[in-house]
Structure 1
Amino acid sequence: MNSVIVWSIIFVLIALFAYYATRMARRDDREDGLHDFGFALLEFGRAFPNEAIREIHATADGRAVFVRLHDGKTGIMRSHTKHYACHLIKPGRVRVQGQEGARSFRAEFLDAPANDGLFTFRTEAEAAEVSLWLLGNYVSSADKDVAEDGA
């Protein structure tokens, strides 16, 4: 009878440990890739209150969100567990390289190297659109004005 009680206690402890470990793993997965893009937009609005967001695209894993602003500028938000780090990309301060997969590109942010990385999107169209935003952002507004005046 005594061994039955000991084994019962051991079984209950193992079950509680398994339940707790599973619950913690699920919580970590949810916090890892903050897929609440509404929260991301609020964070960007807080960081840059004078910028109006026109369009938004997130990477397939939800760890990076790119925003297209009303005046043609581009921004990036990187998920860091419980918050987003927001960065407004200045003209001429980003380099983009295509990758073998058409849904991916590598970007190097000269003003914010912590944002550098390989970005993979759900579709080829999303990756192409965001890379065009970044490449369009590569040309400064002064260069655009000169090109329009000469045309």
Structure 2
Amino acid sequence: MVWPIVIMGVLLATIFYMRMKARAEKDRREPDAGLAIMDFGRAFPDEAIRDIHATADEKAYFVRLHDGKAGFMAAHGTHFVCHLIEAGKVNTSNAPSGRGLTVHFADIAYLDGTYEFRSAEIAAEVSLWLLGSFNPQSDFKSLPAT
């Protein structure tokens, strides 16, 4: 009489374990904006995020910072690679789909790629952030007035 209760208990425990394992696996595979913001804050504690846009697959995030700079985060497992974009260290062009950007990072080439967004408007806004982070400075000193 006790064996049916033990068997039912084992079956229920197995089902519960499998559901919890599947949920934990899902959480590990899917990065989110909150985790990205936390990782960026740990990497660059003096930078304040003003706005953030995720790619369509939510595997990468572009951020606009408080002082006009831009940042980038790429998901790697449960953590993010965070990068502060320096002036003149990024090249962008439109992706063939029209909803993305092809980005080349001069200082971290393994982050290069084509990043697709949910709309062309978001891609345009991110490209303006990247353009706004570029502050060209001349190596030439001005000549004295004659």
TM-score, normalising length from structure 1?
0.72
**1:62 and 2:58 correspond:** yes
| Percent of aligned pairs with the same amino acid | 46
In the TM superposition, residue 138 of structure 1 has moved relative to its aligned partner by 2.8
- Equivalences for residues 35-50 of structure 1 within 5 A: 35=32, 37-50=33-46
Partner of 2:28: 31
What displacement does 1:134 show?
1.0
Tell me how far 1:23 sits from its aligned partner.
7.9
Within 5 Å, which residues of 2 pair with 1:66-77? 66-77=62-73
Equivalent in 117, 123, 135 of residue 131 of structure 2? 135
Supply the distance in 2 between the matched residues of 1:43 and 1:104 (Cα, whole angstroms).
24
SS in 1 for 2:114: strand
Other structure's SS at 1:77 match:
strand
| Deviation by residue 1:82-131 (Cα, 9 ceiling, x = unmatched) | 10110000000001011221211100001111211110001111111001
TM-score (norm 2): 0.75
Which of 104, 107, 121 is the matching residue for 2:103?
107
Tell me the SS of whatever aligns to 2:133.
Answer: helix
1:82 corresponds to 2:90 = no
* Shift >2 Å, 4+ stretches: 22-33
Deviation of 1:31 after TM superposition, in Å, equals 2.4
**Over the residues paired in the alignment, what is the CA RMSD in angstroms?**
2.3
Farther off after superposition, 56-65 or 97-106: 97-106
Residue type at the aligned position of 1:68: R
2:119 to 107, 120, 123: 123
Give the aligned length: 125
Deviates more, 1:46-55 or 1:25-34: 25-34
Between the aligned partners of 1:26 and 1:77, the Cα distance in structure 2 is: 24
Give 5+ residue unaligned stretches, structure 1.
1-15, 144-151
- Partner of 2:41: helix, strand, or coil? helix
Asked if the contact 1:32/1:80 (under 8 Å) is kept, the reply is no
